[in-house]
Structure 1
Amino acid sequence: MGAAVLLLVLGGLPAVLGAGSAQAAGYRYWSFWESDGGKWTYATQGPSLTRPDDGAVEGFRFAVSEDSQDAAQPRRAPDFEEICAGTPAQEGRKRIGVVIDPGTAADAPAGERPPAPRAACAQVEPDASGAQALASVAAPLRYDSNALLCAISGYPASGCGEQVAEATEDSEDTDATAAGSAASEPVTRTPAAGDDDSGGPSAGVLVGLGAVLLLGIAAVLQARRRR
């Protein structure tokens, strides 16, 4: 009987240790990014409030993310010279590079497939907002009643910032594979505060396993005493 208890305890260890492969629930939405030299930074305000300067690049990425710390970047670098190379400067107007990355199939709503990532050079009035620059190259846009950007060029067809029950590592694997085929930077993710960077079980899980093992050993010893 004691040996059976130990086998059950030890046999359950892989299932418990593997339980960390799923991530916390996230939200499916378009995140907004601004250029900072040759890299992306998560925007602190919405595109309708930004007034990008001539030569700036703004990016939009559709993905499932827990929060801003976990959000996936656009997979193309914010290279203004490349994006706007074919758009000559005009007096009294500014040029804004716009990168649109609809993400991967793993992040798409059920029944939809993301269009290919693309970039465009918006040429707009000097006081135009980031939202106006986006609208000039990627209409139609869809917003909700709280002015949250829901769709770019009609994607996705429905939904807006809805919660996704569970995001798994398969989503990240698909994201990394797709990034390799895009002419861009790889997707980067920053662990949210309090996450365990080691990827192993938490201290609480280990303590619990230790307690279960001790109970199993005690059962074996008790069984031997009875013989």
Structure 2
Amino acid sequence: MTAHRTVRLVLSLLAGLLLAGTVTTTAQAEDGYRFWGYYQWTNGQWAFAQKGAEGVTPADGSVEGWRYAVGGAKPRVPRAAGDFAAICGATPAESGKKRVALVIDAGTPADSASGETPPAASGTCVVTDPKATGAKILSAVQPVRIEKGLTCGIGGYPGKGCGDPVKNIQVPATDTPVTLEIGAAVGAATTPTPTAVPTNGSSAPAEQEEDAPWGGIVGFVALVVLLAGGTYFVSRRRRASQQS
């Protein structure tokens, strides 16, 4: 088992214990972790995901949630409800596509490790392929920083760190609800086509890419001519030595 799979298994088991409420809490200060939690809106409430985002394929009409916070025995869910109608209601359905509402809540300044200011909680409707995973849906909206198989940063927040342990955490009994900033609907991210960069450092125009195959053909022809010439030279030397 690789190291990152071991870390993911430990976090998954911890999440299961937190969700099931089997971790015993005491009056003493507890230790926890600072991380992005992954949730699904189910039966009118947030539920901690039982799989990683790359292993979940949300159905059309689903609501995905991410929350950055310091967590211990109590899960820290997104502070806004997963309202599909509010997030995707203005986005028409498309044939052969699915609509998934995505809630991203970066938490509070108190959850930050280095004084970074968390961005406002947002809601975005993602229109994408029916087979798109939770990971692809997230990356369609914000750049994602992955380390050792874990989602460590979303949209550049936080700038560093990943699942760092925190001693003597102070988790509020309840989180004050927030209002989501609803953004424009987006499509799923696609793999960009590589662009050739010329040696002069300027932007490569599209016309230069069309010339690339000819360069390969010319090089190949030159190689064939060189090999043929070498073979002819060797055979002539052999005949000359035999005649002498």
- Cα gap change, 1:103/1:22 in structure 2, threshold over 3 Å: closer, same or farther? farther
SS in 2 for 1:44: coil
Provide the residue aligned with 2:216 in structure 1. Answer: none
Q: Over alpha carbons, which structure has the higher Rg? A: 2
Deviations 1:10-60 (A, max 9, x none): xxxxxxxxxx87621110000110111321111101111000000000100
Aligned residues, how many?
155
Deviations 1:159-179 (A, max 9, x none): 0000112212xx527x63xx2
Distance of 1:83 and 1:64 partners within structure 2: 26
SS in 2 for 1:60: strand
> Identity of aligned pairs, percent?
39
1:63 paired to 2:69: yes
1:117 paired to 2:113: no
Q: Quick check: 1:62–1:101 contact (8 Å CA) kept in 2?
A: yes
SS in 2 for 1:99: strand
1:127 paired to 2:123: no
Distance of 2:29 and 2:132 partners within structure 1: 39
1:75 paired to 2:79: yes
Residue 24 of structure 1 is aligned with which of 25, 30, 33?
A: 30
Distance of 1:158 and 1:166 partners within structure 2: 21
The Cα of 1:183 is off from its aligned counterpart by: 3.0
**Amino acid in the other structure paired with 1:87:** T
Q: Quick check: 1:63–1:71 contact (8 Å CA) kept in 2?
A: no
SS in 2 for 1:165: strand
**Amino acid in the other structure paired with 1:143:** I
Structure 1: segments with no counterpart, 5+ residues:
1-19, 185-227
RMSD (CA atoms): 1.8
Distance of 1:73 and 1:48 partners within structure 2: 20
Residue 89 of structure 1 is aligned with which of 84, 89, 93?
A: 93
Provide the residue aligned with 2:58 in structure 1. Answer: 52
Provide the residue aligned with 2:204 in structure 1. Answer: none
Distance of 1:53 and 1:39 partners within structure 2: 17
Structure 2: segments with no counterpart, 5+ residues:
1-25, 181-244
Provide the residue aligned with 1:153 in structure 2. Answer: 155
SS in 2 for 1:115: coil
SS in 2 for 1:135: helix
Residue 37 of structure 1 is aligned with which of 21, 28, 43?
A: 43
**Amino acid in the other structure paired with 2:120:** A
- Scaled by the length of structure 2, the TM-score of the pair is 0.60
Distance of 1:22 and 1:109 partners within structure 2: 22
Provide the residue aligned with 1:105 in structure 2. Answer: 109
SS in 1 for 2:107: coil
Provide the residue aligned with 1:143 in structure 2. Answer: 146
